[in-house]
């Protein structure tokens, strides 16, 4: 395996947590962090409503399903509430997708889509990542 000098995944951008009820979870996480969420955003195409918290340099995304057949609803049905994905910041999502495909990972959406918080996002299938759903995200300028 060749490790390029240029960094590919720079840092954890955020951690996504699936919740049943965004309203009550917002209150819970406000107590936990001692600060309110700074953003609520609905991504209609994904059937999800999200809120964002900051804890120091770290970011937490809460996700509530808005449709019964959305990926978050299915996740909660199967596994219950909890950590849903880990998102890594990348500089060039297109080259990262190509690199990871060559390494044998399964990219769930090979064409990056617009996610919450002004990001282009792509997901890796947890089957090839030890059961962890990985999100790649690139800031949209």
- Positions that interact with Zn ion (CB under 5 A): 16, 61, 87, 135
Residue 113 or 128 with smaller CB distance to Zn ion: 113
Considering the complex, what minimum distance in angstroms separates the CB of residue 75 from Zn ion? 13
Give the angle 55-94-52 at the CA atoms, nearest 5°: 20
Segments of the chain assigned E as strands: 9-18, 39-43, 48-55, 58-65, 82-90, 113-115, 119-124, 134-139
Considering the complex, what minimum distance in angstroms separates the CB of residue 29 from Zn ion? 15
Residue 61 or 96 with smaller CB distance to Zn ion: 61
Considering the complex, what minimum distance in angstroms separates the CB of residue 104 from Zn ion? 23
Residue 128, token pair as written in the block: 């090839």
Residue closest to Zn ion when measured from CB atoms = 16
């Amino acid at each position: 395996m060749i490790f390029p000098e240029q960094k590919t995944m720079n840092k954890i951008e955020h951690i996504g947590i699936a919740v049943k009820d965004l309203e009550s979870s917002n209150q819970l996480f406000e107590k936990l962090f001692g600060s309110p969420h700074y953003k609520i955003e609905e991504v209609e195409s994904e059937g999800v409503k999200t809120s964002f918290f900051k804890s120091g340099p770290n970011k937490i995304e809460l996700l509530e399903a808005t449709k019964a057949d959305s990926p978050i609803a299915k996740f909660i049905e199967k596994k219950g509430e909890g950590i849903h994905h880990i998102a890594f910041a990348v500089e060039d999502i297109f080259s990262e997708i190509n690199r990871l495909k060559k390494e044998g990972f399964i990219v769930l959406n090979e064409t990056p889509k617009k996610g919450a918080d002004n990001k282009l996002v792509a997901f890796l299938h947890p089957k090839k990542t030890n059961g962890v759903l990985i999100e790649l995200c690139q800031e949209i300028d």
